[in-house]
C-alpha cells in the first residue's frame, strides 16, 4: 500500500536526550545499593536487624538530600547540582568499598544518602520543563527506560562481580557516577539560575499546602515502600530460599529488559486514553501479580517471569506519576513539587529495610511478598478514588505526534 500516513512521536529536545544518555551511563554501575545489606552481613558478620538499621539510616539521609536537590537547583542551577550529587556519590561509594570496619561502612552509607538524591529533582525538572505537557508521560517513561537500559548491563555486572567480591560493585558504581558527572558537565547547557524575583515567588514554594500533591505523596510513598522491598530485600530473600544473593542481579536484568522492550505499550491508543487514576490502578494490579509470583516461586525461571510482570506495572507508574506531579506544580514550582514528592523514596528507603528484614526474619519470604502484593491491591483501589487526573489530560490534550507521509 502506498501513499499512507504514519504517525510518529515528536523527537525529544536535545537536552533531554543528553540527560537520558547520561543516566544510562550512570546506571551501568548502579546496583551496589541492593547489596549494601548483604555486604554488611557477609563482611562484618552483622545480623539482619543491624543490616536493616544501616539501610534505614541511608534512607533517612536521602530525605534532606532530595529537598536540598530541589533548593540547590533553583540557587546554583540544575547542571551544577547534578554534578555535585554524582561526585558526592562516587566519594561515598569508594569509602564503603574501602571500609575496614562496620563503623566506616555506616559512615559511608550516611554520606551516600546525603548525596544520593541531589541528582533527581533537577533532572526531573529539566525533563518536565523541556517537553510539552502531552509528551511528559512519554518523556518520563523514557527516563525510566534509560535507567532500565543501563540496568540490564548493571544487573549482569552485579551477578558477575557479586560472586567475586561485593565491594567491587561499589567501585563500579563510583566509576559510573564520575563518568556521568563528566558527561553532564560537558554536554548540558550552562546553568542559568532564575532571577531572585522568581525564586521568591510564593506560589512556587508551597507544595506542602497543595492537598492534591499530598494525596499523590501518600500513595507514592506506599508504592515506593513496595518498590524498595524488591530492591533492598530481594538479595536477602533469595539467600533465604537457598539461591545465590547475586542472582538478584539476574532478576534486575530481566525487569530492566522488560521495561525497555515494553516502551511501545506507552504509545498504544488504549493506554494513552486511560485516565491517570485508571492507569495507576492497572499498574498496581500488575505489581500485585508480580509480587504474588515472587511469593509462590521457588526456582530462578519462575522468579524471572515474576520480575518481568512486576516491571510492566513499574513502567506504567513511573511515566504517569511524575508527569502528574509536574502538571500539578505552578509555574516555576516543578523543582520544589518534584523534590517534595521525591521524599516518598527517602521515607520508603528508611522504612523498607526495617519492615522487610523483620518480615523476612520472622515470617519468611512467602509472607513478605504476599504482604506487599496485598498492599498493591489496596493501592489499586485507592487510586480510583483519591488520585487526581492530570491537568494536561483534563484539558483534552492527546499525545503530540508528527505526521510523515511514506509508502508501506
pLDDT in tens, 209-262: 788 888 999 999 999 999 888 877 888 888 888 787 777 878 887 887 888 888
Q: Shortest CA distance to 144 belongs to which of 134, 136, 156?
A: 136
State the pLDDT confidence band at 159, using cuts at 50, 70 and 90: low
Among the residue ranges 76-90, 200-214, 393-407, the one predicted with the least confidence is 393-407
CA 146 to CA 151: how far, in whole Å?
A: 8
Closest CA to 250 of 173, 151, 171, 349: 151
Cα 253 from chain centroid? 15
Question: CA torsion 259→260→266→270, rounded to 10°?
Answer: -80
Q: Can you give the pLDDT at residue 219?
A: 93
d(CA 336, CA 73): 9
| Residue 332: DSSP 8-state | T
As a whole number, mean pLDDT of residues 317-330 equals 85
Contact between 152 and 256 under an 8 Å Cβ cutoff? The reply is yes
Q: What pLDDT, on the 0 to 100 scale, is given for residue 190?
A: 79
Tens digits of residue pLDDT in 204-214:
457 777 888 88
What distance in Å separates the CA atoms of residue 159 and residue 171, rounded to the nearest whole number?
15
Which of 138, 134, 117, 116 is CA-nearest to residue 16? 138
Rounded percentage of the chain residues whose pLDDT exceeds 90: 13
Whole-angstrom Cα distance, residue 52 to residue 244? Answer: 19
For residue 375, give the nearest of 361, 390, 355, 392 by alpha carbon: 355
Instruction: Kindly report which listed range (51-55, 86-90, 95-99) carries the lowest average pLDDT score.
Output: 51-55
Q: pLDDT confidence of 197, banded at 50, 70, 90?
A: very low
Q: Does residue 322 carry a pLDDT above 70?
A: yes
Q: Which percentage of the chain shows pLDDT scores above 70?
A: 82
Instruction: Give the residue-averaged pLDDT of 113-136.
Output: 80
User: Between these two residues, 379 and 16, which has the higher pLDDT value?
Assistant: 379
pLDDT band at 381 (very low <50, low <70, confident <90, very high): very high
pLDDT band for position 398 (50/70/90)?
A: very low
Q: What pLDDT, on a 0 to 100 scale, did the predictor assign at position 368?
A: 87
pLDDT value at 144 more than 70: yes
CA 255 to each of CA 149, 152, 220, 355, 401: distance values in angstroms, whole numbers, following the listed order: 10, 8, 20, 23, 29
Query: Within 34-77, where are the H helices?
Result: 36-44, 48-75
* pLDDT confidence of residue 155: 60
* Highest mean pLDDT: which range of 42-51, 109-118, 263-272, 351-360: 109-118
Domains defined for the chain, CATH in brackets: 7-193+207-393 (1.20.1250.20)
Q: Between 108 and 389, where is the model more confident?
A: 108
| Of 27 and 176, the one with more pLDDT | 176
Give the length of the chain: 408
The residues, any chain, with a CB within 8 Å of residue 180's CB and separated by 6 or more, are: 22, 23, 25, 26, 86
CB atoms within 10 A of CB 163: 13
Residues 7-26 have pLDDT tens digits of: 455 667 777 877 777 777 66
pLDDT range class, residue 379, cuts 50, 70, 90: very high
Residue 213 · residue 328 · CB < 8 Å: yes
What CA–CA distance (Å, rounded) separates 44 from 51? 10
- How would residue 287 be classed by pLDDT, with cut points 50, 70 and 90? very high
**What's the gap between Cα 399 and its chain centre?**
24
Are the C-beta atoms of 220 and 344 separated by less than 8 Å? yes
Give the dihedral sign, CA 133/274/271/375: positive
Residue 124: pLDDT band by 50, 70, 90 thresholds? Answer: confident
Helices (H), 188-268: 196-199, 211-228, 234-240, 248-261
What separation in angstroms does the CA of 250 have from each of 243, 260, 301?
12, 15, 10
CA 348 to chain centre: 12
pLDDT of 203 above 60: no
Amino acid at each position: 500500500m502506498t501513499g499512507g500516513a504514519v504517525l510518529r512521536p515528536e523527537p525529544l529536545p536535545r537536552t533531554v536526550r543528553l540527560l537520558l544518555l547520561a543516566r544510562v551511563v550512570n546506571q551501568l554501575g548502579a546496583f551496589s545499593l541492593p547489596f549494601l545489606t548483604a555486604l554488611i552481613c557477609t563482611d562484618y558478620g552483622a545480623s539482619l536487624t543491624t543490616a536493616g538499621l544501616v539501610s534505614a539510616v541511608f534512607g533517612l539521609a536521602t530525605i534532606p538530600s532530595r529537598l536540598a536537590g530541589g533548593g540547590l537547583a533553583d540557587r546554583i542551577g540544575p547542571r551544577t547540582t547534578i554534578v555535585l550529587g554524582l561526585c558526592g556519590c562516587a566519594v561515598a561509594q569508594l569509602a564503603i568499598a574501602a571500609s575496614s570496619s562496620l563503623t566506616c561502612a555506616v559512615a559511608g552509607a550516611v554520606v551516600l544518602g546525603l548525596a544520593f538524591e541531589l541528582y533527581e529533582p533537577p533532572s526531573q525538572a529539566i525533563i518536565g520543563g523541556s517537553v510539552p505537557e502531552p509528551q511528559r508521560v512519554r518523556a518520563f517513561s523514557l527516563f525510566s527506560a534509560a535507567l532500565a537500559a543501563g540496568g540490564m548491563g548493571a544487573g549482569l555486572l552485579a551477578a558477575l562481580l557479586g560472586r567475586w567480591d561485593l565491594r567491587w560493585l561499589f567501585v563500579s558504581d563510583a566509576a559510573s557516577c564520575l563518568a556521568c558527572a563528566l558527561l553532564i558537565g560537558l554536554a548540558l547547557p550552562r546553568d542559568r539560575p532564575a532571577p531572585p524575583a522568581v525564586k521568591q515567588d510564593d506560589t512556587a514554594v508551597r507544595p506542602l499546602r497543595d492537598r492534591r500533591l499530598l494525596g499523590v505523596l501518600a500513595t507514592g510513598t506506599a508504592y515506593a515502600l513496595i518498590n524498595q522491598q524488591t530492591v533492598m530485600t530481594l538479595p536477602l530473600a533469595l539467600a533465604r530460599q537457598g539461591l545465590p544473593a547475586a542472582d538478584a542481579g539476574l532478576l534486575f536484568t530481566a525487569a530492566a529488559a522488560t521495561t525497555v522492550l515494553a516502551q511501545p505499550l506507552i504509545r498504544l491508543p488504549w493506554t494513552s486514553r486511560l485516565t491517570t487514576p485508571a492507569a495507576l490502578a492497572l499498574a498496581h494490579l500488575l505489581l500485585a501479580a508480580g509480587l504474588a509470583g515472587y511469593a509462590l516461586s521457588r526456582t530462578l525461571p519462575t522468579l524471572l517471569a515474576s520480575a518481568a510482570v512486576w516491571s510492566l506495572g513499574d513502567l506504567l507508574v513511573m511515566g504517569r506519576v511524575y508527569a502528574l506531579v509536574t502538571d500539578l506544580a505552578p509555574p516555576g514550582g516543578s523543582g520544589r513539587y518534584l523534590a517534595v514528592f521525591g521524599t516518598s523514596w527517602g521515607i520508603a528507603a528508611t522504612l523498607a529495610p526495617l519492615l522487610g528484614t523483620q518480615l523476612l526474619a520472622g515470617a519468611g519470604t512467602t509472607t513478605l511478598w504476599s504482604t506487599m502484593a496485598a498492599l498493591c491491591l489496596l493501592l489499586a483501589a485507592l487510586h480510583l478514588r483519591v488520585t487526581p487526573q492530570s491537568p494536561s489530560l483534563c484539558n483534552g490534550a492527546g499525545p503530540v505526534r508528527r505526521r510523515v507521509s511514506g509508502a508501506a
